[in-house]
Amino acid sequence: MHALKKNRPLRRIVLASAATVSGMVLLLSLKPHTSPTVATASTKSPVSSSSSGAPGTGTRTVTGDTVQTRWGPVRVRVTIKSGRLTDLTAVSYPQDNPRDQEINGYALPQLRREALAAQSAQIDTVSGATYTSDGYRRSLQSALDSAGL
Amino acid sequence: MGTVFSFDVRGGEPRAVREALQDAVAGLHRADALFSTYREDSEVSRLARGELPVARCAPEVAEVLELAAEAERVSEGWFSTRYRGSLDPTGIVKGWSAERAARLLAAVDGVCGVSVNGGGDVQLLGAPEPQRPWRVGVADPLRPGGLAAVISTAGVDELSVATSGTAERGAHIVDPRTGRPAVTDLVAVTVVGPRLTWVDCWATAAFAMGSRAGLAWLESLPDVEGLLITAGDEVRCTGGLAARLG
């Protein structure tokens, strides 16, 4: 997958991000690792939330917008069952270097459980996290918005 | 500011709220343009280089510098607006601008509750519903997935919650005396009080002080409570914090 990233033009990123989950996996693999100019360009790609499953019935998954953070793009996918958030995963997040991996290995599970706990405990907001969690929160919000929650 | 703000506004006429939100967001961008030390052309960068006197800066610059001087005085120098010898009021701008945005939104007719979260620091005004206070989870820095506490606005009309810590961004708090990352036994400090402008500064200062001095100092401030978590997983609270838990 890494071999792809060097040679594919930006257009592929735009196309991939407009598609579904497989597209997002591709986006993740194409994600520029250290080039800030490409990262800025990808902010402008027409990314939109995508969802699968019929609204209002059974289980649906909804993927949020890709949100650019200083450390790289963040994107989450939520599962909604009968109008309630039942699961949440990060489909893309900064993992370019050991420090990113260390931070996100710790932060993402925490944020996932926070989002689930917040819903069950009627918590309006959370104090304590920055950067990745903001991107995560924004992507989560766009997923919830497009799910109509 | 390199961070993200989220808004939760309850009540009010939708169009008026939308317009106020646009003004609030414009205010944040303006604060960024004035105060960012990452922008060479910001007023604060020009001020720091001696190219622009305070008197010719926007009025907000003098206001923030005055607030920062007050924070430095109250914290006995533990909160500082100088970084590596040059002017850097970044530490106060986020809380100040989030509080200002929250007050702007709360002034809209019919708005009963406002929550503004600026990069994990929160200003709350009013209540989300008539019989329900705002509730803010405090992320537990040592227990992935856990909340260390839940702060409630029950009984008060304004409250803010700010957390300083090393958990996610690594050591980013500098000891003003040494210019090096603060040597502290703490992993996180959460401070609760009416105004985010101050609470955000106090969290930074208490973190740099360490648990013993930080707790004693927070205890000495009126209307301010604190929750301190050490690297050894000890939780220390000021005496009045219990009244704010919910």
- Across the interface, of B2, B146, B163, the residue whose CB is closest to A127 is B163
CB pairs under 8 A between A and B: 108
End-to-end CA distance of chain B: 31
Q: How many domains does chain B have?
A: 1
Strands B86-87 and A125-127 come out as unpaired
pLDDT tens digit string along A15-39?
Answer: 333 322 222 222 222 223 332 222 2
In chain A, which residues have their Cβ closer than 8 Å to the Cβ of B146? 110, 113
Does pLDDT of A132 surpass 50?
Answer: no
pLDDT: which is higher, A38 or A72: A72
Q: What's the DSSP call for residue B85?
A: T
- Say if CB B31 and CB B57 are below 8 A apart: no
Give the per-residue pLDDT at A9.
Answer: 38
C-alpha A134/C-alpha A139 separation (Å) is: 8
Residue A72: pLDDT band (50, 70, 90) is confident
- Under CATH, which number does the domain A47-147 receive? 3.90.1010.20
* C-beta neighbour count of B82 within 10 angstroms: 15
pTM: 0.69
Contacting residues of A for B119, CB less than 8 Å apart: 130-131, 134
User: What is the rounded distance in angstroms from the CA atom of residue B205 to the CA atom of residue B58?
Assistant: 27
Nearest CA to B144 out of A65, A103, A92, A15 is that of A103
pLDDT at A14 over 50: no
Count of C-beta atoms within a 10 Å radius of residue A22:
9
Residue B6, strand partner residues: B117
Residue B159 lies in domain = 5-244
Q: Residue B228 forms beta bridges with which residues?
A: B189, B236
CB pair distance less than 8 Å for A117 and B137: yes
| Mean per-residue pLDDT, A125-135 | 62
- Mean pLDDT per 10-residue run, chain B (246 residues)? 75 94 93 88 92 94 94 91 77 94 97 90 94 89 76 96 72 70 84 97 92 96 96 91 92
CATH no. for residue B41?
3.10.520.10
The confidence score (pLDDT) of residue A46 equals: 33
Give the closest-approach CA distance of B55 to chain A in angstroms.
34
Q: At A11, is the pLDDT very low, low, confident or very high (cuts 50, 70, 90)?
A: very low
Give pLDDT, residue A102: 64
Q: Which two tokens stand for residue B133?
A: 């206070």
Cβ separation of A129 and B2 shorter than 8 Å?
no
Separation of alpha carbons A93 and A91, rounded Å: 7
Note the pLDDT of residue A41.
Answer: 26
Contacts of B190 (CB under 8 A, 6+ apart): A127, A128, B138, B148, B149, B151, B161, B162, B163, B203, B226, B227, B228
Give the tokens for residue A35.
């080039």
What is the pLDDT averaged over residues A70-97? Answer: 77
Cα–Cα distance, B103 to B8 (Å, whole number): 13
Q: Which residue has the higher pLDDT, A10 or A79?
A: A79
Selecting from A110, A126, A138 the residue whose C-beta is nearest the C-beta of B144 gives A110
Residue written as token pair 């060097």: A6
**Residue of chain B minimizing CA distance to A127:** B120
Domain residues of chain A, as ranges? 1-30, 47-147
Predicted confidence band of residue A49 (pLDDT cuts 50, 70, 90)? very low
**Which of the listed ranges A12-16, A68-72, A86-90, B151-155 does the model predict with the highest average pLDDT?**
B151-155
Tokens of A106: 């710790």
User: What are the C-alpha distances in Å from A122 to residues A14, A104, B107, B128, B136?
Assistant: 37, 25, 26, 11, 9
Distance from the B126 Cα atom to the nearest Cα atom in chain A, whole angstroms: 13
Query: Which of B90, B168, B196, B228 is the best mutation test for A, with the most CBs of A within 10 A?
Result: B168
Other beta carbons within 10 Å of A40: 11
| ipTM of the complex, rounded to two decimals | 0.88
